[in-house]
Structure 1
Amino acid sequence: MICVNMRVVILVILCLCSFASPKGNEKDSSGGKSTLDDAESIEAFKPTHEWQSVKKGQPIPKGLHVRVNLQTGETEAKLISNSNNERTDVLSVHDDVNSEEDRIEADELSKEVRESLLKLENEEKATPSEIADAVRERFRSYKELKEAFKQLNMTVKTDLEIMHELIFKYKNLQRSQKTSYDEILAVLTDMEYLVHQFDNALEFVRLEGVSDIVIPMLNCSSPAVRAEAARLLGSAAQSNVKVQIAALENGAIFSLLRAVSLDSDSVVRIRSLYALSCLIRNFPAAQARFVKEGGLSVLAQLFDKEQENHKMQVKIKIITLLYDLLIERQDTIKLFSGYTPVIKEELEMKMKQYKEVGLEKSLLDQGWCSKIPEVLLAQDQNWSRTKKRDDLSSALTDIPVRPEHDFVEKVVDTLLAMVEICHHDFNINSDLKRMIIGLREWYLELAMKEELNKSAKQIREGSDESSNDIVDEGFLYYSGIARTLERLTRELEKFGAKDEL
């Protein structure tokens, strides 16, 4: 026989009795619905020294042996026997009849159980409006919470409320003659943090933040304020069409191009390039204005003149932007087939807009077909050092992903995206073709080592050697670059053959 603490025993007995009673929505034999109080009308259990079945909902006196047959789910009970050899098949408990405190606690617990079950039954029958009223009674509104926190000298505000306060504060600073640039900078920084959220950016536009704050501050005499204003616009415009439209309507592209081209501060130029990228991505109308106002020419000047400490960083940003703009067009063409007429009509309109931009022709006219390869060829002297480091490190551990590889990946991806419009310039550039072949052989070697390293690592960790995902090319960095170089080589050969004809 298993002896259990008296409180646990009482809890088990009460739960068995409570959950054995019929559900509130089930009908009894008389055709009416039963409730939890029906248990009181059932005849009391009369115990003997033999095991007897306990009916559902039947009250059980205290001081009995109780057991539950796990196979049949039937509850049985009998009087406590003086025999020490007696045992139960599943569960046997006994009551300490001398504990008055336990009896009182059991009565209270029984009452709590019944009240909880009645509450559950009532909630099941409640209508949606009754449930809503119950929720309002249990939880306080935002207004009530604000009042409560106000009494505690604490302030609770939503992001939109903070945005309103920041714009109000900015306007007061503009009217004050004692305003410092640090105060304006602090307000712009707080706004930039908020506009990352989509709804906050929409509210920023609704409150004329682009026209009243960003555009004027791009012309501020403080480089730090100009840089923060550009960053604020870029953060708000990311994948937010309404912000992009507001910026376009307020002449932001012209202001940003002027900052990229003429600003004496390198941080302002980089932040303005970031804002410009966010503004024209996936927005053909802004791209058309960008090309019309000489944006590609401005980027070409920045590409060539940027200071040495930021030169490579800026070039990578420009190359990435050009790649994204080209891929947008190519993806739209690929998506055109296989869609419903309505979707096709939208894509057709978008393709027409991209065609009106004339980006490809502008890239060709502005000399970008030679500028991108020059970036790759300029790093020729660094490849030998990088190769030696990779060869040494691969003998010791996994091959590290260095900045040089990230640079190669972005440039090669862009060359592949431009090959259709620049194939003639690429094919007559013998140094570029030699570089592509050399890089392809190098990355094929790195890819092989990468695959071996991954396979060995998975085997060490106990993976199945025969599993098909031991070498998953989708997760192999260098294999991806090698495949891009192979595609670029095939495309150049294909267009080269056409050029010869």
Structure 2
Amino acid sequence: MKLIKSVIASILCLCLAQAFPVLAVSEQDTIEEEIICPDSNPLNCYPKNFIPTEDWQIVKQGQVIPPGLEVKLDLENMNREARLIKDQGNQLNKKRNHDIIISNGDPNFQNSLENIKELVKSESINNRLRFDKIIEDLDVLVDWSSDLETGAIIAQNIQPLLKLSGLYHTKNTQHNNFGFTEAQYIKVQEMIYRILASSFRNNIEAQEILLNFLNEPDLFLVHLVSGDEKENDVVIKRKLGLLGSLLNNGLFTDYFQKGEIDKELIILYPKVESKDIKLRIMTILDDIKLVRRDERDEDDQDDVNLDKEYAIIVQNTLVKSSLNDDPQSREMLISLSELKKKDKLSFRADNKFLDWMDRQITKQRENVNELRKRDVGEDHVLTTEHGYLNELITLRHEVFGNPLGSRKEYIDEL
């Protein structure tokens, strides 16, 4: 029996020696080392203590990494790798966009990133204890996110954070709340948006990393504005905070324009009740240069003034558009009308805007007349377009102008 055990031990040591070569032989090599065996196959066993070399090696589950190594998370396959530190002057220039490299980093910071990656990889959370732990890990990232260097590292580790927050969507993935309750998930989302906003604010390196990671940056920005209508106010506010943090340095300027984020914000404004959220929307529109700061009364930011400023922005945006060619313009017009219906004294329609409304009514009347001439039998199309014409007439006169003026418009339709 002793002979059999000795033979098995020799075979196992030989396998481990081939799989995990040591750097040098020392007295410690003769000491029996703790090993990890994930299954019944002895060939799959490996040392608990990670043995570094100058090349990147995958850190297997349960292995302990000695201090002073370079550690990275490869976001393509979600593996953690480590190696001995090489020339520190060149290491940052050689890193890949999908890698996270931490040299002599804070162990709590590294462990928190790893724990979040493992949660995303498992795609589920089973108990309150694990929820408390992920909140603890996110809290560590909150503390580190305002630092420029660690902010860039967080940007390199963006994929698991986006997945956990619900911001990461592809054609082959669906939204996953990871088994959180609604209240728990709101807390997780709120913390992640805080982390990301702090990481990208005034951090051009982090923004460059994010820009290289995103396939369609404009759609990412749109998703920060056009979320679920039932979304919690805290989450909406944090998402807008993340959106605002990407405005500086000019890296995302073209994508703000391409995604027409100004129009998305205009559409969002009347859907929220919170004054803080409305103020944040107006601040972002301000930063997009839709309104000059010297036109704003900094000492008086009550709801009425915000609504007046909002109405000015919407009217100035609409007069440059066409209701027939731009579906967003129709939504903005409805948003503006809802504000006016709610409070007739909230703002006074600008003459340029009223002239624009007259032109839109004329174009819509021409569309209706053209459909009548065709007489192609599509009565539902004619009914729909005629109904929209009447809606525009109502908005022009009864909402934005003189209610008596609508009489002549309707007579012209008879």
Please classify the TM superposition score into its range, dividing by the shorter chain length: 0.3 to 0.5
Larger helix proportion of the pair: 1
TM-score, normalization by structure 1: 0.36
